[in-house]
A and B are shown apart, each in its own frame.
Chain A
Amino acid sequence: MAKFTILLVDDEPDFREIMTVRIKSWGYDALTASNGREAVDAVKGKNPDIIILDYMMPDMDGVSALREIRKLNNKVPVIMFTAYPDERSIKGAETLGVLAYIPKISLYTDAQAALKSAIHIAERTLEAQK
């Protein structure tokens, strides 16, 4: 089975570096983008299988980036990974096809475990499509 490639979109370089190692430790290939524009370019050029998207980024917020991504690819599973899940943004992203919303840090859930299971769901969806 070919390795799936995950595109991580986040404006924090430290977080990108840490998460790249984490994603690779789970057995996937990792790509990163530091803003919405780069994310759109990566979707165009590198065709990632799964996207993990932060939605508070300086140039283009995650919801706008997702809108652009959806114009190119309306099937790729997208997981919103965010430091501040507010209801308005969630509503904004709802119509754009989001697999899961995961808080980066939470008192109630283990964020990494939640992210890992969201990726597993995405993986199963992709395998079913094959």
Chain B
Amino acid sequence: MYKEIPKSRDIFSARTEEIRELMNNACFGQRDAQHKRFSDFTSAHNIGKEVALRFELAECLKLLIDRIAETMSVEIISLMLVERNGTRLAIEVARGLSEEAVKNTKVNVGEGVAGWIAKTGESLLVEDITKDERFPSRGGKYYTNSLLSVPLKISNRVIGVINVNNKTSKSVFIKDDLEMLSTVAEMAAVAIENARFRQDARTQEQMRSNFISNVSHELRTPLTAIKEAVCMILEEIIGTVTGEQKRFLEIAKKNIERLNRLIEELLDLGKLESKRCHEKRKLFDVIEVTNAIIELLGPLAKEKAISLTKVLPQQKVEIWGDADRVAQVITNLLGNSIKYNRQNGTIEVRVSETEEAVTISIVDTGVGISPEDAEKIFERFYRVKAHSGEQKHGTGLGLAITKEIVHAHGGKILVESQIDKGSMFTVILPKDLRKKKE
């Protein structure tokens, strides 16, 4: 490792300028130089563009150093990133260095060549590092002792450093190399930052998903034991129970079930927010799903003598989405229409389509919703104040889940209602989300 911190930037700049001049004059005539610059510039941009297309950080970095090594014909290249706390640099990826060196090389910001670059944000081009007394113990096998290091910068913040050594031609680095590498670094920095953001987002997503699964387990475990104990007493497995004792145990059981429903729905919301439902999307027929739900909930409507009718297209109406989730939407809405309807009321389920979207409406003759409530019913735990009859016990999450699902499918949900007359819930879903994205 480099021992001494270069204190003065002037020395570097002076040397660099000197070398630039020398190299420029020595190597190329003006036309050749221009031609080479143009080709370097094109290569640099091609590398930048290619790297920007890689979404995985590791993949992005590997591709970057491979392309630089090939284009610049260097044997040793390393890419270091500044660690999260901003005090240290570590090699993320390298070529031509031992695995051990890659693993163990950590440099404090401000120390050594890479540390100096991270601190100052300047590039560095040195002709012969062995003759530079500030770097006495430079390890490794190098054909030449010329080195080139550039910062990876996002505006003025250095996120890392690219170091290259040993041109295969055994010549030293020149100003054109510096310019080329700086151009690549400029584009690469943005790509790296983006890849990092995506990686962070994925890590958070993973943590969230693990959290949901842990919470789920931790809540269900005690609830299971409580429910089991209550059920066993109720079933008189461990002895006889009086009528009144049974009544109280039934209350306990009912509330355990309510709590269970609440847990399930909260977890369901968590899953929806973590977008795990996106994995199950495929083309499916909305009409088939709607018919199945009407059939399923028909008996419930019948109990209240509600006339349940449907107005559906004759043909299939296919949409791209999660069939189970869309079924959940229709089940929730139709379930509510039955629950909040009056005896001998009516419900009509309508499905219609345009070229791009499908509209599902459920019209009922239920208790209706006031305009103030209508604005808030999709909020979590919002409860409409019972204006007639008894309070219905829901979890207060059904419509919030419904809205989440509709939004996850790129759709809209609307409600029109009049107190004591009834409500109409309308869901509009785009037929193909994939097209909408492009």
Contact = CB atoms under 8 A, between A and B. Distances in A.
Contacts of A105: 220, 223-224, 227, 260
Given A21-B237, A112-B228, 15 more contacts: A15-B224, A18-B225, A18-B232, A22-B228, A22-B232, A22-B237, A25-B237, A83-B216, A83-B220, A84-B220, A104-B224, A105-B224, A105-B227, A107-B261, A112-B231
A32 to B, nearest CB: 14
Contacts of B224: 15, 83, 104-105, 111
B260 A107 contact: yes
12 contacts: A15-B228, A19-B228, A21-B232, A21-B237, A21-B238, A22-B237, A25-B232, A25-B237, A83-B224, A84-B216, A104-B220, A105-B223
Contacts of A12: 221, 225
Contacts of B223: 105
Binding site secondary structure of chain B: helix
Interface of B: 213, 216-217, 220-221, 223-225, 227-229, 231-232, 237-238, 257, 260-261, 264
B217 A83 contact: yes
Contacts of A107: 257, 260-261, 264
A22 B236 CA distance: 11
Contacts of A104: 220-221, 224
Contacts of B227: 105
Contacts of A14: 225, 229
Q: Which 6 A-B pairs have the closest CB atoms?
A: A83-B220, A104-B224, A84-B217, A25-B237, A105-B224, A14-B225
A15 B223 CA distance: 10
Interface of A: 12, 14-15, 18-19, 21-22, 25, 56, 83-84, 86, 104-105, 107, 111-112
A38 B264 CA distance: 32
Contact of A84 (B213, B228, B237, B238): B213
B71 to A, nearest CB: 43
Nearest to A22: B232
A56 B217 CA distance: 8
A104 B220 CA distance: 8
A107 B225 CA distance: 15
A107 B262 CA distance: 10
A107 to B, nearest CB: 6
Contacts of B228: 15, 18-19, 22, 112
A15 B224 CA distance: 8
Chain A CB within 10 Å — which of B217, B221, B227, B231 has the most?
B221
A112 B224 CA distance: 11
A15 B225 CA distance: 5
A86 B227 CA distance: 22
A42 B215 CA distance: 31
A18 B229 contact: yes
B82 to A, nearest CB: 35
B328 to A, nearest CB: 12
Contacts of B261: 107
A105 B229 CA distance: 13
Contacts of A19: 228
Contacts of A112: 228, 231
Contacts of B237: 21-22, 25
A15 to B, nearest CB: 5
B58 to A, nearest CB: 23
A8 to B, nearest CB: 12
A18 B229 CA distance: 7
A86 B210 CA distance: 11
Contacts of B231: 112
Contacts of A83: 216-217, 220-221, 224
A102 to B, nearest CB: 11
Contacts of A111: 224
